[in-house]
Structure 1
Amino acid sequence: MVNALVLAGSPNDGPLKDCSPARYEALISIGGKTMVEYVLDALKATGKINRIVVVGPTEELKKLLPGDITVVTAGRDLMGNLLEGLKYLPGAQRVLMATCDIPMITTQAIDNFLDLCSNREADLYYPVIPRREVEKNYPLTRRTYVSFKEGQYTGGNLFLFNPAVVEGCMRQGQRLVDARKSPLRLGCMLGLTFLLKFLLHRVTLKEAEAHASGLLGVKGAVVISNYPEVGVDVDKPSDLELVMEKLGI
């Protein structure tokens, strides 16, 4: 069993603000249910989650969510929200972190990710999804892909990690998170040699895993998930339209 932490504190002040009057992206309604509720329903349906903590607008979330879910006030940025949430999960050995903007996530996708992680020993597990799997199931979606020697992949929105290593890699972790949708920025952070190989599409997933682990000072593991729902998030109007179409709304 692992504990889950859902980040739901992003204000709705970006591209989605014209699609919904909700003050926070987590509270954008899709077919009468908010985005964060879709994520929580998938988490609760697994048999592998113990406690769930949601970091976001406490007033709205406490009215919306059942009492067995702990709601925590959001901080100023992603890493700050992560630390706030972990305060309510003392002693946790492993925490599954999810963003609130993946309403297509399924229990099967979550279970599969956790099963894949259980096959390796690491401090941080990060999923990547092959481009072919995304486009096979969501041909109209536009995602950021990174080219590796094995093929093209997009990053996921689930993370499994050991809370004990978080504070030690906070600064670099925030930089990696900020650069996750810019392949060139990611390459630059990992050094010139790596960048040159990256530009030639000669970097393997194993090499990327090793470089990221060294940068963060932790043992990281790249996990290949064939569930595109792990990586199909909603951050622009076309994403919202796609989700509504898939859900028949």
Structure 2
Amino acid sequence: MEAIVLAGGYASDPLAQKFGVASKTLVPYRGRPLVEYTLEALTQAGLEVILVGPPVPLSPPPRVALPDQGSLIANLEAGINAVEGDKVLVATGDMPFLRQEAVRWVLENAPQAGFVYTIIAKATIEQRFPGMRRTYARVREGYFTGGNLVIIDKKLFFTALPLLRRALELRKKPLALAQMIGFATLLKVLLGQADIAGLEARVSQIIGVPARALITPYAEVGVDIDKVEDLQWLEP
């Protein structure tokens, strides 16, 4: 399988500004840009990497390097267009703790679905990274945070592209966005009464293909560095 690494961003991002780099994924951590840790884990796991981001030399180098297209959806679309296979692993470029074992586990345990989204239990994060701030959603099964690895069916992406663009347009219009999700589902989420199976069914209905969540035992899949506060947490 191939992997897309989303490493785009803006030099005006507070974290990128702090270090004078073109994207927060290029912020140095232990002498290396953040994105190199993601690249290394994916490469060691046997994946061929397509990187979308600023044109800078990186080690290990990706098989394909594409320029930043200016937005998350545009970057993902550019990466998908370069994919040769039917399915692709998509990763963000700001996971300094990601290791090949975690990547392999996701690949080996991912259910057969058009869209597989990794989630990590709060207890898993706190055991591995005490004090690390994350955003959690409450469902009947417990508290979970979203992971930074997903598996996408290539055909699904282009089918769902208009929906993704619409969701992005409505991101600052909560009521309109809620209509897309469904008020009943949204209310259950807000009250912590939703369950994973029900959410999987609703997302599958919206996008038109099976969608599954993958509860992942590797905390590093859910820990990224995208704020100055996150980087300060890493510093001794």
Same fold, TM exceeding 0.5? yes
2:72 is matched by which residue type in structure 1? Answer: L
The verdict on how the C-alpha distance between 1:103 and 1:185 changes in structure 2, with shifts beyond 3 A counting, is farther
Give 1:160 shift: 0.7
Partner of 2:20: 21
> For structure 1, which segment, 162-171 or 189-198, has the greater mean C-alpha deviation from structure 2 after superposition?
189-198
Q: Secondary structure at the match of 1:23?
A: coil
Q: 1:99 aligns with which of 92, 98, 123?
A: 92
Q: 1:74 aligns with which of 65, 68, 72?
A: 68
Q: Counterparts of 1:145 and 1:5 in 2: how far apart (Å)?
A: 25
Partner of 2:36: 37
Q: Counterparts of 2:170 and 2:119 in 1: how far apart (Å)?
A: 15
Partner of 1:53: 50
Taking only the aligned residue pairs, the percentage that are identical comes to 33
2:50 is matched by which residue type in structure 1? Answer: V
Q: 2:229 aligns with which of 224, 234, 238?
A: 238
Q: Counterparts of 2:36 and 2:2 in 1: how far apart (Å)?
A: 17
Partner of 1:128: 119
Question: Structure 1: any 5+ residue segments left out of the alignment?
Answer: none
Q: Counterparts of 1:178 and 1:113 in 2: how far apart (Å)?
A: 31
Q: Counterparts of 2:120 and 2:54 in 1: how far apart (Å)?
A: 30
Q: Counterparts of 1:224 and 1:177 in 2: how far apart (Å)?
A: 26
1:75-106: per-residue Cα shift (whole Å, max 9, x none)? 1211111111122223x121111010111111
Q: Counterparts of 1:157 and 1:57 in 2: how far apart (Å)?
A: 20
Give 1:68 shift: 5.6
TM-score scaled by length of structure 2:
0.90
Aligned residues: 234
Question: Structure 2: any 5+ residue segments left out of the alignment?
Answer: none
Q: 2:136 aligns with which of 131, 139, 145?
A: 145
Contact 1:101 1:235 survives alignment (8 Å): yes
Partner of 1:168: 159
TM-score scaled by length of structure 1:
0.85
RMSD: 2.4
Contact 1:98 1:158 survives alignment (8 Å): yes
1:28 is matched by which residue type in structure 2? Answer: V
